[in-house]
Amino acid sequence: MHTVELQGEGSGVKRTVLPSGIRVITETMPTLASETVGIWVDSGSRDETDRTAGSTHFLEHMLFKGTRTRTARQIAETFDRTGGESNAATAKEYTCYYSRCLVDDLPVVTQLLWDMVLDSLIDPAEFERERGVIIEELAMDADDPTDVLYESFDSFVFGDHPLGRPIGATKEQIAALPHEVLLEHHAANYIGPRLVFAAAGGQSHEAVVEQVLAATAHLPVPQAPGHTTEQPTAEAPAGSRPLAGSRPGRPERTAPGFRSGTLLVDKETEQQGIILGVPGLPEAHPDRFTFSVMYSLLGGGMSSRLFQSVREEHGLAYSVHCFASRYQDAGQFGIYAGCSPAQAQAVVDLCAAEFARLATQTPAEDEVAAVIAQASGSTMLGLESSAARMNRLARLEMSGQPFESPMDALARVRAVTPEMVRDLAARLHAQDAALVTVGPAKSLHLPD
Protein backbone atom coordinates (compact mmCIF):
# COMPACT_ATOMS: atom_id res chain seq x y z
CA MET A 1 0.00 0.00 0.00
CA HIS A 2 1.06 3.56 -0.65
CA THR A 3 -0.32 6.59 1.21
CA VAL A 4 0.08 10.21 0.10
CA GLU A 5 -0.96 13.38 1.96
CA LEU A 6 -2.44 15.34 -0.91
CA GLN A 7 -2.71 18.95 0.20
CA GLY A 8 0.37 19.40 2.31
CA GLU A 9 1.35 18.38 5.81
CA GLY A 10 -1.54 18.57 8.25
CA SER A 11 -4.19 19.17 5.57
CA GLY A 12 -6.19 16.12 6.61
CA VAL A 13 -6.53 14.89 3.00
CA LYS A 14 -4.88 11.54 2.24
CA ARG A 15 -5.04 8.90 -0.46
CA THR A 16 -4.04 5.24 -0.12
CA VAL A 17 -3.96 2.80 -3.03
CA LEU A 18 -4.76 -0.72 -1.79
CA PRO A 19 -3.19 -3.86 -3.29
CA SER A 20 -6.51 -4.52 -5.06
CA GLY A 21 -6.19 -1.17 -6.88
CA ILE A 22 -8.99 0.48 -4.89
CA ARG A 23 -8.18 4.11 -4.10
CA VAL A 24 -9.19 5.28 -0.61
CA ILE A 25 -9.25 9.06 -0.30
CA THR A 26 -10.36 10.84 2.85
CA GLU A 27 -10.56 14.24 4.48
CA THR A 28 -10.50 14.21 8.26
CA MET A 29 -12.77 16.81 9.88
CA PRO A 30 -11.92 16.26 13.57
CA THR A 31 -14.83 18.24 15.04
CA LEU A 32 -17.49 16.06 13.35
CA ALA A 33 -19.16 13.04 14.92
CA SER A 34 -20.43 11.93 11.50
CA GLU A 35 -18.94 10.64 8.25
CA THR A 36 -20.10 10.76 4.64
CA VAL A 37 -18.74 7.92 2.53
CA GLY A 38 -19.20 6.83 -1.05
CA ILE A 39 -18.06 4.06 -3.36
CA TRP A 40 -17.49 5.58 -6.79
CA VAL A 41 -17.34 3.39 -9.89
CA ASP A 42 -15.36 4.71 -12.84
CA SER A 43 -18.14 3.84 -15.26
CA GLY A 44 -21.19 5.72 -16.48
CA SER A 45 -23.81 5.63 -19.20
CA ARG A 46 -21.36 7.01 -21.80
CA ASP A 47 -19.38 3.76 -21.49
CA GLU A 48 -22.36 1.71 -22.72
CA THR A 49 -23.05 0.43 -26.23
CA ASP A 50 -26.35 0.15 -28.03
CA ARG A 51 -26.60 -3.42 -26.68
CA THR A 52 -25.85 -2.46 -23.08
CA ALA A 53 -27.71 0.89 -22.98
CA GLY A 54 -29.36 1.37 -19.60
CA SER A 55 -27.29 -1.29 -17.84
CA THR A 56 -25.38 1.17 -15.62
CA HIS A 57 -28.54 2.66 -14.13
CA PHE A 58 -30.29 -0.73 -13.98
CA LEU A 59 -27.36 -2.22 -12.06
CA GLU A 60 -27.50 0.65 -9.57
CA HIS A 61 -31.07 -0.41 -8.75
CA MET A 62 -30.15 -4.08 -8.49
CA LEU A 63 -27.40 -3.62 -5.91
CA PHE A 64 -30.04 -2.76 -3.30
CA LYS A 65 -31.90 -6.04 -3.97
CA GLY A 66 -29.84 -8.43 -1.87
CA THR A 67 -26.38 -9.95 -1.49
CA ARG A 68 -25.07 -13.38 -0.59
CA THR A 69 -25.41 -12.50 3.11
CA ARG A 70 -28.23 -9.90 3.23
CA THR A 71 -31.74 -9.63 1.87
CA ALA A 72 -33.05 -6.39 0.38
CA ARG A 73 -35.03 -5.81 3.58
CA GLN A 74 -31.94 -6.32 5.73
CA ILE A 75 -30.02 -3.81 3.62
CA ALA A 76 -32.79 -1.22 4.11
CA GLU A 77 -33.08 -1.95 7.84
CA THR A 78 -29.33 -1.63 8.38
CA PHE A 79 -29.25 1.76 6.69
CA ASP A 80 -32.31 2.89 8.65
CA ARG A 81 -30.80 1.81 11.98
CA THR A 82 -27.78 4.05 11.46
CA GLY A 83 -30.11 7.05 11.51
CA GLY A 84 -28.38 8.70 8.57
CA GLU A 85 -29.10 8.70 4.87
CA SER A 86 -28.14 6.49 1.96
CA ASN A 87 -28.71 6.46 -1.76
CA ALA A 88 -27.05 5.97 -5.13
CA ALA A 89 -26.64 7.97 -8.33
CA THR A 90 -25.84 7.10 -11.93
CA ALA A 91 -24.25 9.77 -14.12
CA LYS A 92 -22.79 9.79 -17.60
CA GLU A 93 -19.24 9.18 -16.37
CA TYR A 94 -19.58 7.50 -12.97
CA THR A 95 -21.83 5.63 -10.55
CA CYS A 96 -21.86 6.31 -6.80
CA TYR A 97 -23.25 4.51 -3.74
CA TYR A 98 -23.12 6.67 -0.64
CA SER A 99 -24.22 7.04 2.97
CA ARG A 100 -23.94 9.46 5.87
CA CYS A 101 -23.73 8.04 9.37
CA LEU A 102 -22.24 8.49 12.81
CA VAL A 103 -18.55 7.68 13.07
CA ASP A 104 -19.46 4.87 15.49
CA ASP A 105 -21.61 3.26 12.77
CA LEU A 106 -19.01 3.63 10.02
CA PRO A 107 -17.66 0.04 10.20
CA VAL A 108 -21.18 -1.35 9.68
CA VAL A 109 -22.00 1.05 6.86
CA THR A 110 -18.66 0.51 5.11
CA GLN A 111 -19.11 -3.26 5.24
CA LEU A 112 -22.67 -2.95 3.93
CA LEU A 113 -21.74 -0.69 1.00
CA TRP A 114 -18.93 -3.00 -0.09
CA ASP A 115 -21.16 -6.04 0.31
CA MET A 116 -23.69 -4.43 -2.04
CA VAL A 117 -21.11 -3.32 -4.59
CA LEU A 118 -19.07 -6.53 -4.69
CA ASP A 119 -21.38 -9.38 -3.68
CA SER A 120 -24.88 -8.56 -4.91
CA LEU A 121 -26.89 -11.50 -6.23
CA ILE A 122 -28.34 -9.66 -9.23
CA ASP A 123 -31.09 -12.26 -9.06
CA PRO A 124 -32.97 -12.97 -12.32
CA ALA A 125 -36.41 -12.83 -10.67
CA GLU A 126 -35.59 -9.51 -8.98
CA PHE A 127 -34.21 -8.28 -12.29
CA GLU A 128 -37.56 -8.86 -14.02
CA ARG A 129 -39.49 -7.15 -11.22
CA GLU A 130 -37.15 -4.14 -11.29
CA ARG A 131 -37.45 -3.88 -15.07
CA GLY A 132 -41.05 -2.76 -14.57
CA VAL A 133 -40.03 -0.24 -11.89
CA ILE A 134 -37.44 1.35 -14.17
CA ILE A 135 -39.88 1.56 -17.07
CA GLU A 136 -42.27 3.40 -14.74
CA GLU A 137 -39.43 5.73 -13.73
CA LEU A 138 -38.72 6.52 -17.38
CA ALA A 139 -42.42 7.12 -18.01
CA MET A 140 -42.50 9.58 -15.11
CA ASP A 141 -39.51 11.44 -16.55
CA ALA A 142 -41.19 11.57 -19.97
CA ASP A 143 -44.10 13.44 -18.36
CA ASP A 144 -41.77 16.14 -17.02
CA PRO A 145 -41.23 18.82 -19.71
CA THR A 146 -37.97 19.98 -18.13
CA ASP A 147 -36.52 16.46 -18.21
CA VAL A 148 -37.64 16.13 -21.82
CA LEU A 149 -35.98 19.46 -22.66
CA TYR A 150 -32.58 18.60 -21.22
CA GLU A 151 -32.57 15.08 -22.68
CA SER A 152 -33.62 16.48 -26.06
CA PHE A 153 -30.79 19.01 -25.90
CA ASP A 154 -28.19 16.31 -25.16
CA SER A 155 -29.56 14.08 -27.90
CA PHE A 156 -29.59 16.91 -30.43
CA VAL A 157 -26.14 18.41 -29.83
CA PHE A 158 -24.28 15.10 -29.22
CA GLY A 159 -26.18 13.05 -31.80
CA ASP A 160 -25.25 9.35 -31.85
CA HIS A 161 -22.39 9.81 -29.39
CA PRO A 162 -22.97 7.99 -26.05
CA LEU A 163 -23.18 11.34 -24.24
CA GLY A 164 -26.33 12.01 -26.25
CA ARG A 165 -28.07 8.95 -24.80
CA PRO A 166 -30.36 9.31 -21.75
CA ILE A 167 -28.69 7.93 -18.61
CA GLY A 168 -31.56 5.50 -18.08
CA ALA A 169 -31.87 4.65 -21.80
CA THR A 170 -35.36 4.30 -23.33
CA LYS A 171 -38.33 2.19 -22.32
CA GLU A 172 -37.80 0.02 -25.38
CA GLN A 173 -34.13 -0.56 -24.55
CA ILE A 174 -34.92 -1.47 -20.94
CA ALA A 175 -37.69 -3.82 -22.05
CA ALA A 176 -35.19 -5.66 -24.27
CA LEU A 177 -32.15 -5.60 -21.93
CA PRO A 178 -30.92 -9.16 -21.18
CA HIS A 179 -30.07 -10.20 -17.63
CA GLU A 180 -26.62 -11.39 -18.67
CA VAL A 181 -25.70 -7.85 -19.75
CA LEU A 182 -25.90 -6.72 -16.11
CA LEU A 183 -23.71 -9.63 -15.02
CA GLU A 184 -21.16 -8.75 -17.69
CA HIS A 185 -21.28 -5.06 -16.76
CA HIS A 186 -20.69 -5.84 -13.08
CA ALA A 187 -17.80 -8.22 -13.78
CA ALA A 188 -16.06 -5.77 -16.12
CA ASN A 189 -16.49 -2.54 -14.14
CA TYR A 190 -16.81 -3.32 -10.43
CA ILE A 191 -13.13 -4.23 -10.03
CA GLY A 192 -10.44 -2.76 -7.80
CA PRO A 193 -8.67 -0.34 -10.19
CA ARG A 194 -11.99 1.25 -11.18
CA LEU A 195 -13.27 1.85 -7.65
CA VAL A 196 -12.74 4.86 -5.39
CA PHE A 197 -13.80 4.97 -1.74
CA ALA A 198 -14.16 8.61 -0.67
CA ALA A 199 -14.88 9.71 2.90
CA ALA A 200 -15.10 12.99 4.79
CA GLY A 201 -15.85 13.40 8.47
CA GLY A 202 -14.60 12.68 11.96
CA GLN A 203 -12.88 9.34 11.34
CA SER A 204 -9.13 9.10 10.72
CA HIS A 205 -7.74 8.05 7.35
CA GLU A 206 -6.01 5.06 8.89
CA ALA A 207 -9.23 3.74 10.44
CA VAL A 208 -11.12 4.15 7.15
CA VAL A 209 -8.39 2.26 5.27
CA GLU A 210 -8.54 -0.59 7.80
CA GLN A 211 -12.31 -0.84 7.37
CA VAL A 212 -12.10 -0.89 3.56
CA LEU A 213 -9.31 -3.49 3.69
CA ALA A 214 -11.43 -5.71 5.90
CA ALA A 215 -14.42 -5.44 3.56
CA THR A 216 -12.48 -6.02 0.33
CA ALA A 217 -9.80 -8.51 1.39
CA HIS A 218 -11.14 -11.12 -1.03
CA LEU A 219 -10.49 -8.97 -4.15
CA PRO A 220 -7.62 -10.12 -6.39
CA VAL A 221 -4.50 -8.04 -6.92
CA PRO A 222 -4.43 -6.70 -10.51
CA GLN A 223 -1.73 -8.23 -12.66
CA ALA A 224 -1.86 -5.87 -15.64
CA PRO A 225 0.91 -3.24 -15.63
CA GLY A 226 0.20 0.47 -15.44
CA HIS A 227 -2.72 0.49 -12.99
CA THR A 228 -3.02 3.33 -10.49
CA THR A 229 -1.19 1.18 -7.90
CA GLU A 230 2.04 2.58 -9.35
CA GLN A 231 4.05 4.96 -7.14
CA PRO A 232 4.40 8.63 -8.13
CA THR A 233 7.63 9.32 -10.00
CA ALA A 234 10.15 12.03 -9.21
CA GLU A 235 8.76 14.07 -12.11
CA ALA A 236 5.13 13.64 -11.03
CA PRO A 237 3.98 15.46 -7.87
CA ALA A 238 2.62 13.19 -5.17
CA GLY A 239 -0.90 14.55 -5.62
CA SER A 240 -1.06 14.00 -9.37
CA ARG A 241 -2.59 11.12 -11.31
CA PRO A 242 -2.93 10.19 -14.97
CA LEU A 243 -5.85 11.87 -16.68
CA ALA A 244 -9.09 9.95 -16.34
CA GLY A 245 -9.18 8.88 -19.96
CA SER A 246 -5.70 7.34 -19.84
CA ARG A 247 -6.32 4.87 -17.01
CA PRO A 248 -6.01 1.25 -18.10
CA GLY A 249 -8.93 -1.05 -17.37
CA ARG A 250 -11.58 1.16 -18.94
CA PRO A 251 -12.78 1.27 -22.54
CA GLU A 252 -11.38 4.26 -24.36
CA ARG A 253 -13.68 7.28 -24.45
CA THR A 254 -13.95 9.36 -27.60
CA ALA A 255 -14.79 13.05 -27.51
CA PRO A 256 -18.14 14.10 -29.01
CA GLY A 257 -18.83 16.78 -31.57
CA PHE A 258 -21.44 19.50 -31.04
CA ARG A 259 -24.31 19.98 -33.48
CA SER A 260 -25.64 23.52 -33.84
CA GLY A 261 -29.06 24.49 -35.16
CA THR A 262 -32.63 24.37 -33.91
CA LEU A 263 -34.84 21.58 -32.58
CA LEU A 264 -38.51 22.23 -31.75
CA VAL A 265 -40.16 19.50 -29.67
CA ASP A 266 -43.94 19.80 -29.90
CA LYS A 267 -45.58 19.18 -26.52
CA GLU A 268 -48.82 20.47 -25.07
CA THR A 269 -47.58 22.49 -22.10
CA GLU A 270 -48.48 25.79 -20.49
CA GLN A 271 -44.89 27.02 -20.78
CA GLN A 272 -42.26 26.87 -23.47
CA GLY A 273 -38.99 25.41 -22.19
CA ILE A 274 -35.94 26.93 -23.87
CA ILE A 275 -32.27 26.01 -23.96
CA LEU A 276 -29.81 28.17 -25.87
CA GLY A 277 -26.42 26.49 -25.72
CA VAL A 278 -22.86 26.25 -27.05
CA PRO A 279 -19.91 23.92 -26.41
CA GLY A 280 -18.54 24.47 -22.91
CA LEU A 281 -15.42 23.46 -20.99
CA PRO A 282 -14.25 19.97 -20.00
CA GLU A 283 -14.04 19.07 -16.30
CA ALA A 284 -10.35 19.90 -15.78
CA HIS A 285 -10.02 22.85 -18.19
CA PRO A 286 -7.51 25.49 -16.96
CA ASP A 287 -10.14 28.24 -17.39
CA ARG A 288 -12.61 26.55 -15.03
CA PHE A 289 -12.18 29.23 -12.34
CA THR A 290 -12.83 32.05 -14.81
CA PHE A 291 -15.79 30.04 -16.07
CA SER A 292 -17.33 29.90 -12.58
CA VAL A 293 -17.21 33.69 -12.33
CA MET A 294 -18.58 34.21 -15.85
CA TYR A 295 -21.36 31.69 -15.18
CA SER A 296 -22.45 33.39 -11.96
CA LEU A 297 -22.30 36.87 -13.46
CA LEU A 298 -24.44 35.96 -16.46
CA GLY A 299 -26.98 33.62 -14.94
CA GLY A 300 -26.05 32.21 -11.55
CA GLY A 301 -28.54 33.87 -9.22
CA MET A 302 -31.09 36.59 -8.59
CA SER A 303 -28.55 39.38 -9.08
CA SER A 304 -27.27 37.92 -12.35
CA ARG A 305 -27.70 39.76 -15.63
CA LEU A 306 -30.16 37.28 -17.09
CA PHE A 307 -32.42 37.28 -14.03
CA GLN A 308 -32.38 41.05 -13.74
CA SER A 309 -33.03 41.59 -17.45
CA VAL A 310 -35.45 38.81 -18.43
CA ARG A 311 -37.43 38.59 -15.20
CA GLU A 312 -37.05 41.81 -13.26
CA GLU A 313 -36.84 44.40 -16.05
CA HIS A 314 -39.00 42.81 -18.75
CA GLY A 315 -41.16 40.36 -16.74
CA LEU A 316 -40.96 37.69 -19.45
CA ALA A 317 -40.10 34.59 -17.39
CA TYR A 318 -40.28 33.23 -13.88
CA SER A 319 -37.19 31.03 -14.24
CA VAL A 320 -34.06 31.92 -16.21
CA HIS A 321 -30.51 30.84 -15.45
CA CYS A 322 -27.30 29.40 -16.87
CA PHE A 323 -26.42 25.72 -16.77
CA ALA A 324 -23.24 23.78 -17.47
CA SER A 325 -22.42 20.11 -18.05
CA ARG A 326 -18.75 19.20 -17.75
CA TYR A 327 -17.27 15.88 -18.82
CA GLN A 328 -13.78 14.43 -19.13
CA ASP A 329 -13.34 15.63 -22.72
CA ALA A 330 -16.30 17.89 -23.47
CA GLY A 331 -18.75 20.35 -21.99
CA GLN A 332 -21.89 22.34 -22.54
CA PHE A 333 -22.73 25.90 -21.54
CA GLY A 334 -26.19 27.23 -21.95
CA ILE A 335 -29.10 29.34 -20.84
CA TYR A 336 -32.40 27.86 -19.67
CA ALA A 337 -35.68 29.76 -19.53
CA GLY A 338 -39.33 28.85 -19.11
CA CYS A 339 -41.96 31.29 -20.37
CA SER A 340 -45.28 31.56 -22.13
CA PRO A 341 -45.15 30.34 -25.75
CA ALA A 342 -46.18 33.79 -26.98
CA GLN A 343 -43.12 35.39 -25.34
CA ALA A 344 -40.64 32.63 -26.25
CA GLN A 345 -38.90 34.32 -29.18
CA ALA A 346 -38.53 37.54 -27.22
CA VAL A 347 -36.92 35.58 -24.38
CA VAL A 348 -34.54 33.81 -26.78
CA ASP A 349 -33.51 37.12 -28.30
CA LEU A 350 -33.02 38.78 -24.91
CA CYS A 351 -30.93 35.90 -23.53
CA ALA A 352 -28.77 35.92 -26.64
CA ALA A 353 -28.31 39.67 -26.36
CA GLU A 354 -27.12 39.42 -22.76
CA PHE A 355 -24.65 36.69 -23.71
CA ALA A 356 -23.37 38.82 -26.61
CA ARG A 357 -23.02 41.89 -24.38
CA LEU A 358 -20.82 39.99 -21.95
CA ALA A 359 -18.73 38.69 -24.86
CA THR A 360 -18.10 42.16 -26.29
CA GLN A 361 -18.09 44.54 -23.32
CA THR A 362 -15.75 44.18 -20.35
CA PRO A 363 -17.81 44.00 -17.14
CA ALA A 364 -17.19 46.56 -14.43
CA GLU A 365 -14.67 45.85 -11.68
CA ASP A 366 -17.28 46.14 -8.94
CA GLU A 367 -19.66 43.73 -10.72
CA VAL A 368 -16.94 41.07 -10.98
CA ALA A 369 -15.84 41.72 -7.40
CA ALA A 370 -19.40 41.18 -6.17
CA VAL A 371 -19.67 37.88 -8.05
CA ILE A 372 -16.33 36.71 -6.65
CA ALA A 373 -17.42 37.61 -3.12
CA GLN A 374 -20.64 35.66 -3.58
CA ALA A 375 -18.79 32.68 -5.03
CA SER A 376 -16.28 32.72 -2.19
CA GLY A 377 -19.00 32.75 0.43
CA SER A 378 -21.09 30.02 -1.13
CA THR A 379 -18.02 27.84 -1.69
CA MET A 380 -16.89 28.05 1.92
CA LEU A 381 -20.41 27.54 3.28
CA GLY A 382 -20.86 24.53 1.02
CA LEU A 383 -17.62 22.97 2.20
CA GLU A 384 -18.87 22.92 5.78
CA SER A 385 -20.83 19.86 4.61
CA SER A 386 -19.06 16.51 4.81
CA ALA A 387 -21.13 15.36 1.81
CA ALA A 388 -19.82 18.27 -0.29
CA ARG A 389 -16.25 17.49 0.71
CA MET A 390 -16.67 13.79 -0.04
CA ASN A 391 -18.07 14.57 -3.48
CA ARG A 392 -15.26 17.05 -4.16
CA LEU A 393 -12.58 14.51 -3.26
CA ALA A 394 -14.08 11.81 -5.47
CA ARG A 395 -14.68 14.05 -8.48
CA LEU A 396 -11.14 15.42 -8.38
CA GLU A 397 -9.72 11.92 -8.05
CA MET A 398 -11.75 10.46 -10.89
CA SER A 399 -11.20 13.37 -13.27
CA GLY A 400 -7.44 13.44 -12.71
CA GLN A 401 -7.40 17.03 -11.45
CA PRO A 402 -4.69 18.15 -9.02
CA PHE A 403 -5.81 18.50 -5.43
CA GLU A 404 -5.99 22.04 -4.10
CA SER A 405 -7.10 23.20 -0.70
CA PRO A 406 -10.35 25.17 -0.65
CA MET A 407 -8.33 28.31 0.12
CA ASP A 408 -6.07 27.70 -2.88
CA ALA A 409 -9.14 27.23 -5.10
CA LEU A 410 -10.63 30.45 -3.74
CA ALA A 411 -7.39 32.27 -4.52
CA ARG A 412 -7.71 31.11 -8.13
CA VAL A 413 -11.26 32.49 -8.26
CA ARG A 414 -10.21 35.78 -6.67
CA ALA A 415 -7.50 36.18 -9.31
CA VAL A 416 -10.10 36.36 -12.10
CA THR A 417 -10.25 39.77 -13.78
CA PRO A 418 -13.02 41.45 -15.81
CA GLU A 419 -10.91 41.03 -18.95
CA MET A 420 -10.59 37.29 -18.32
CA VAL A 421 -14.39 37.01 -17.99
CA ARG A 422 -14.97 38.94 -21.23
CA ASP A 423 -12.37 36.95 -23.16
CA LEU A 424 -13.80 33.58 -22.07
CA ALA A 425 -17.35 34.72 -22.86
CA ALA A 426 -16.13 35.87 -26.30
CA ARG A 427 -14.57 32.47 -27.04
CA LEU A 428 -17.71 30.61 -26.02
CA HIS A 429 -20.04 33.04 -27.80
CA ALA A 430 -18.07 32.81 -31.06
CA GLN A 431 -19.09 29.16 -31.45
CA ASP A 432 -22.18 28.06 -33.35
CA ALA A 433 -25.15 27.74 -31.01
CA ALA A 434 -27.99 25.28 -30.61
CA LEU A 435 -31.57 26.20 -29.71
CA VAL A 436 -33.78 23.42 -28.33
CA THR A 437 -37.29 24.08 -27.05
CA VAL A 438 -40.18 22.00 -25.72
CA GLY A 439 -43.74 23.29 -25.90
CA PRO A 440 -46.43 24.35 -28.36
CA ALA A 441 -44.52 27.19 -30.10
CA LYS A 442 -43.71 26.19 -33.68
CA SER A 443 -41.67 29.03 -35.16
CA LEU A 444 -38.76 29.80 -32.82
CA HIS A 445 -35.36 30.44 -34.30
CA LEU A 446 -31.82 31.35 -33.34
CA PRO A 447 -31.14 35.10 -33.31
CA ASP A 448 -29.41 36.47 -36.41
Q: Compute how many other C-beta atoms are within 10 angstroms of the C-beta atom of residue 190.
A: 19
Closest by Cα among 202, 188, 189, 197 to 216: 197
**Can you say whether the dihedral through the CA atoms of 102, 105, 107, 113 is positive or negative?**
negative
**Which residue in the list 27, 48, 60, 130 is annotated as catalytic?**
60
354 classed as catalytic: no
What distance in Å separates the CA atoms of residue 139 and residue 161, rounded to the nearest whole number? 23
Secondary structure (3-state) at 255: coil
What distance in Å separates the CA atoms of residue 274 and residue 297, rounded to the nearest whole number? 20
CA end-to-end distance (rounded Å), the chain:
59
Residue 279, sorted as left (phi over 0), alpha (psi -120 to 50) or beta, turns out to be beta
What distance in Å separates the CA atoms of residue 186 and residue 167, rounded to the nearest whole number? 17
Closest by Cα among 146, 77, 151 to 108: 77
Farthest CA pair distance, the chain: 63
Residue type, 439: G
Residue type, 29: M
What distance in Å separates the CA atoms of residue 130 and residue 352, rounded to the nearest whole number? 44
Inter-helix orientation angle 205-215/106-119, to 10°: 40
What distance in Å separates the CA atoms of residue 252 and residue 386, rounded to the nearest whole number? 33
What distance in Å separates the CA atoms of residue 158 and residue 166, rounded to the nearest whole number? 11
**What residue ranges in 80-149 does DSSP mark as E strands?**
85-90, 95-102
What distance in Å separates the CA atoms of residue 262 and residue 444, rounded to the nearest whole number? 8
Q: Catalytic amino acids?
A: 60
